[in-house]
Chain A
Amino acid sequence: MRRWDLSQRLTALVIAFIVSVGALLMLRMQEPDIKAALLIVALATSTLVCALALPRWGLVDPFLVTLMNFLCSLGVLFQYSLNQTMGGLSHAWFYLAGMLALLVASFVIRLTHSFKRYRLALFIGAIALLGVTLTHPVFRYNGSSSWIPLRRSSEGVMLMSIQPSEFVKLILIVLLADILSDQTIGRAKRLLMSVCISIAFVGLICLQNDFGTALLYFLTALCLIYIGLSDIRILISGCAAGVGAALVIYRISTTVQDRVRVLIDPFKEAADKGFQLVQSLIAIANGGTTGMGLGLGRAGTIPLYDTDFVFSAICEQFGIVFGLCVMFIYVLMFMRGMRMAARATRRFHALLAAGCSSMLAVQTFVIIGGVIKMIPLTGVTLPFLSLGGSSMISCMAQIGILCGVHACVERDFARSRRAVEPIALREGLSV
């Protein structure tokens, strides 16, 4: 019963946060802001339902989902504070869509033990999704071709678009977890198949000129293959191959060269290539330890302040202490996911949980490390906080997968506890 208490307390904290931040937003103008009030009610209700009702039906893991709700609420309220007209509210709708994706993913994982029959369909679907943007220059935007535009303004600025590589993440995790857990095929074949799939995906994303996402795919695939085959040599040779590929890409791509040069001294090209990073660092410095305050700050001057650089904007308004706390929440979620992987009784579930948690962790690391000038900057989103429907739905679906695994693991535990055979008991205890 203790753990339930902890998640209950956590929920209360998150709701307190939502109400206080939302109230600040609501009262900052002369007239009370009705939209902000609605957001408070919606977010608080969703957090409560997720923490209290859904776990009873075995749909979600209350701890994980409450942490995620904290991040999502922060995202929705923060986006709303940056942009009252469209940004903040669209993030709220993405959150709703993501919630549905989460529940669907959780259901699917609970009902399915194997994706063996769908492997080929999933693979072809993924290749088609990734390949379609390469077929025509109409998909080219901002130097990479990773979006399918749905609506454009008259000046050709993309208003709404889908990023297929976000959804293919799910396919990559499911496909690799399924193949690597399949004991009916040989070890060498499993290795070969998963490596080929990973190379195909990573290669297509590199062709899209989206090296940040390619890095995510590569690292997640590496983690999964290493865990699935439990061989340290895979990890080492994978890292070596990755370094080699990075060097080749560095040679070919001028974008990557720019990013590395900017990392070394962003202020040298402060008005040009280093502009984004310089503004990001200035925002962090302006925020200082405790931040400038919600709604204050100059977030508007950071380019992409609502997507790639949302972490810098948060640091500007809330301070770096809060920024580090936000990062710590991601770490907690990652640890929770990896704990599920370690507790799982089936390989498939363990790999699914490990894949989703490491994908989210690597993504968080890559973008936070990029905006604070620790590693070269890449244009990936910060899960749950960056504005963007594809990213939001994909990340929440990954949490959904984790919740599904959690439900399966708990179910298996309950069964093994009920089992009276001493052998089964011993097996249950040894996990």
Chain B
Amino acid sequence: MKQLRKSVRVTTAILALMFISIGIYFPYSVYFFGGRWFARQYNPLIKYPGAVIRGDILDRKQTVLATTVDGNRAYAADESIRLAVAHVLGDEARNVKSGVETFMASYLLGLNTNFITKIAQAFSIEPRRGDDVFLTIDAELTAYIAGLFPSGAKGAAVMIDYSTGQIRALTSLPSFDLTRGASGLTGDVLLNRATGRLYAPGSVFKVITYAAALENIPNAAELEFMCTGFLPVENSTIVEAGGATHGLVDIRRAFELSCNTTFSALALDLNYNNIEKTARAFGFNEKTLFRDLMMEDGIYPVSHPDRGLDNLAQSGIGQGSVQTTPLQMALAACAIANGGVMMEPRLLWFAKQPNQGNFPLGSSIYKRVMSSQNAAIIKDAMIGAVQDGTASRFAIPGYVVGGKTGSAETSEDKSVPTHSWFIGFIDDMNHPLAICVLVENGGAGSLVAAPIAQQAMVEALRLGY
């Protein structure tokens, strides 16, 4: 009997532990993910909000992007603006995943009110009105950037204020007209390419390989490499773009010239785990949790079935199975420009309750990605790439700017144009802007994406950012 009582106690303890784990996990998951669960297009509360007037959506210059007129949603008069911000806003029927209309529905439907207001509303006869949402983006700038893309091109651009994390512009092409709604459109058009689609980053990923080298190889800055134009790995060979040979280069010069063999050799030195550690700091292989937007998480192939050396060498130059979104690479540029600290990207500037004050929403540090010394080294190298390297088309007279180009192969067939990538920043605390431009199958990053980024930056400077 005594033994029996002991085993009864053991069983009680085990089962009680199971309930304690619910008691801990349940509030934890609701606290951290409840907002995500709520802001879904499947939520009946958002889909059929009942008797409530949706709040307006405005940009940072108070341009009305979406408002409610006689119970119907009306959008900005300028067509180019409507098209440029379509994915950020999302359509009324919420075919676009996690646009502002869905993701900030708790404000727009006025559900973020406190208990007392709620009771007051319950007794009021006037229809409830949601909060107005002011976004950090500049719609005019966004429309200008969207207009820079070659006609018919697919792609995305993201511009972020790296000192605060506020998103100045975010656009995805091809787009659609919000006034006509999204019915009948394919998922390809509705997809927000800046946040929701994964691409091979190509050479822009070299900033991460570079950071990994600085962190793990003690005298990385002094290492010299002999570039002969190709680097044989197990079953494949890494070659330079355009058949170039760079000769004897140090790591910085190799970065400026975007030398593939050097960065593949670095990847082979570093191994999967070291690069993954750095990539993870930049948000790869992690569940990112931003308050204002959702981002597909980049993939660094540490647990890839083919963990061979070929894939490892490819991963050093952002090929193979490395995948990322334009937003994620824009954030990488932000972190480098901001001394290694990544600010949380913000899309919501503030929300304003009817007849009441604002919810002020500040900026906050998302995380430290790397040491400030290493960030400074990579920043210098990116500035060097503009002054005397592949990113020269990003040069802006009168400003110190840095950048990195990328041309990501998407097919074995060499006649298919590469994805054209560019990330860059202005190194000036008065104009703290970083940008990422992607043109799908646009060609070389230095020829296509870099000039778009340059014009976008010039326009942003003109507008006073």
Q: Are A324 and B15 in contact (CB under 8 A)?
A: no
A365 is an interface residue with CB less than 8 A from chain B: yes
Q: Complex formed: what's the CA distance from A282 to B15 in Å?
A: 28
CB distance from B118 to the nearest CB of A (A): 10
CB distance from A347 to the nearest CB of B (A): 6
Which of B38-46, B66-74, B243-251, B427-435 contacts the other chain?
A: B38-46
Using C-beta atoms within 8 Å of the partner chain, give the interface range for chain B. Answer: 20 to 34
Which of A29-37, A202-210, A220-228 contacts the other chain?
A: A220-228
Smallest CB gap from B25: residue in A: A374
Contacts A320-B27, A350-B4 given; indicate if A270 touches B40 (C-beta within 8 A). yes
User: Which of A270, A342, A354 sits near B42, CB closer than 8 Å?
Assistant: A270
Q: Are B4 and A230 in contact (CB under 8 A)?
A: yes
Chain B residues with CB under 8 A of A235? 10
Q: Complex formed: what's the CA distance from A323 to B26 in Å?
A: 10
User: Which of B6, B8, B22, B45 sits near A368, CB closer than 8 Å?
Assistant: B22
Q: Are B7 and A226 in contact (CB under 8 A)?
A: yes
User: Which of B25, B42, B115 sits near A278, CB closer than 8 Å?
Assistant: B42
The prevalent SS among residues of A at the interface is: helix
CB distance from A328 to the nearest CB of B (A): 8
Contacts A230-B4, A271-B42, A288-B34 given; indicate if A358 touches B11 (C-beta within 8 A). yes
Contacts A285-B35, A288-B34 given; indicate if A228 touches B23 (C-beta within 8 A). no
Smallest CB gap from B38: residue in A: A285
CB distance from A330 to the nearest CB of B (A): 8
Smallest CB gap from A275: residue in B: B42
CB distance from B46 to the nearest CB of A (A): 9
Q: Among residues 13 to 52 in chain B, which have CB atoms less than 8 Å away from a CB atom of chain A?
A: 15-16, 18-19, 21-23, 25-27, 29-30, 34-38, 40, 42-45
Q: Complex formed: what's the CA distance from A298 to B34 in Å?
A: 16
Q: Complex formed: what's the CA distance from A358 to B44 in Å?
A: 37
A377 is an interface residue with CB less than 8 A from chain B: no
B411 is an interface residue with CB less than 8 A from chain A: no
Give the one of B7, B10, B40, B45 with max A CB within 10 A.
B7
Chain A residues with CB under 8 A of B115? 290
Q: Are B8 and A331 in contact (CB under 8 A)?
A: no
Q: Are A365 and B22 in contact (CB under 8 A)?
A: yes
Q: Are A354 and B16 in contact (CB under 8 A)?
A: no
A334 is an interface residue with CB less than 8 A from chain B: yes
Contacts A324-B26, A324-B27, A365-B18 given; indicate if A286 touches B11 (C-beta within 8 A). no
When each residue 270-308 of chain A gets 1 if its CB lies under 8 Å from chain B and 0 otherwise, what string results? Answer: 110000001101101110101000000010010000000
B414 is an interface residue with CB less than 8 A from chain A: no
B3 is an interface residue with CB less than 8 A from chain A: yes
Q: Are B30 and A227 in contact (CB under 8 A)?
A: no
User: Which of A230, A298, A324, A335 sits near B7, CB closer than 8 Å?
Assistant: A230
When each residue 351-390 of chain A gets 1 if its CB lies under 8 Å from chain B and 0 otherwise, what string results? Answer: 0001000100110010011001110000000000000000
Chain A residues with CB under 8 A of B37? 281-282, 284-285
Chain A residues with CB under 8 A of B38? 282, 285-286
B9 is an interface residue with CB less than 8 A from chain A: yes
Q: Among residues 307 to 362 in chain A, which have CB atoms less than 8 Å away from a CB atom of chain B?
A: 320, 323-324, 327-328, 330-331, 334-335, 338, 341-342, 345, 347, 350, 354, 358, 361-362
Contacts A298-B44, A365-B15 given; indicate if A372 touches B8 (C-beta within 8 A). no
CB distance from B295 to the nearest CB of A (A): 14
Q: Complex formed: what's the CA distance from A117 to B40 in Å?
A: 59
Q: Are A282 and B4 in contact (CB under 8 A)?
A: no
Q: Are B26 and A372 in contact (CB under 8 A)?
A: yes
Q: Are B4 and A372 in contact (CB under 8 A)?
A: no
User: Which of B4, B9, B25, B26 sits near A228, CB closer than 8 Å?
Assistant: B4
Chain A residues with CB under 8 A of B22? 327, 365, 368-369, 372, 374
Chain B residues with CB under 8 A of A335? 12, 16
CB distance from B448 to the nearest CB of A (A): 33
A115 is an interface residue with CB less than 8 A from chain B: no
Chain A residues with CB under 8 A of B16? 331, 334-335
CB distance from B2 to the nearest CB of A (A): 8
Q: Complex formed: what's the CA distance from A279 to B19 in Å?
A: 23
Q: Complex formed: what's the CA distance from A281 to B30 in Å?
A: 9
Q: Are B4 and A227 in contact (CB under 8 A)?
A: yes
Q: Are A361 and B27 in contact (CB under 8 A)?
A: no
CB distance from B15 to the nearest CB of A (A): 5
Q: Are B30 and A320 in contact (CB under 8 A)?
A: yes
Chain B residues with CB under 8 A of A281? 37
B5 is an interface residue with CB less than 8 A from chain A: yes
Q: Complex formed: what's the CA distance from A226 to B38 in Å?
A: 43
CB distance from B227 to the nearest CB of A (A): 42
Q: Are A361 and B3 in contact (CB under 8 A)?
A: no
Contacts A279-B42, A284-B37, A334-B15 given; indicate if A327 touches B23 (C-beta within 8 A). yes
User: Which of B21, B26, B44 sits near A320, CB closer than 8 Å?
Assistant: B26
A123 is an interface residue with CB less than 8 A from chain B: no
CB distance from B16 to the nearest CB of A (A): 7
Q: Complex formed: what's the CA distance from A374 to B24 in Å?
A: 11
Chain A residues with CB under 8 A of B21? 374
Chain A residues with CB under 8 A of B8? 227, 338, 341-342, 350, 354
CB distance from B130 to the nearest CB of A (A): 16
A139 is an interface residue with CB less than 8 A from chain B: no
Give A residues with C-beta under 8 Å from B: 223, 226-228, 230, 232, 235, 267, 270-271, 278-279, 281-282, 284-286, 288, 290, 298, 301, 320, 323-324, 327-328, 330-331, 334-335, 338, 341-342, 345, 347, 350, 354, 358, 361-362, 365, 368-369, 372-374, 431
Known: A279-B42, A285-B30, A372-B25. 18 other contacts (CB 8 A): A223-B11, A226-B7, A230-B4, A267-B40, A282-B43, A282-B44, A284-B34, A334-B16, A338-B12, A347-B1, A350-B1, A354-B8, A358-B11, A365-B18, A369-B22, A374-B22, A374-B25, A374-B29
- 20 A–B contacts from the bound complex (CB under 8 Å): A223-B15, A227-B11, A232-B7, A270-B40, A271-B42, A282-B43, A285-B37, A288-B34, A320-B30, A324-B23, A347-B4, A350-B4, A350-B8, A354-B11, A365-B18, A365-B19, A369-B18, A372-B25, A374-B25, A374-B26
Pairs of residues from A and B, 3 with the lowest C-beta to C-beta distance, nearest first: A285-B37, A230-B3, A285-B38
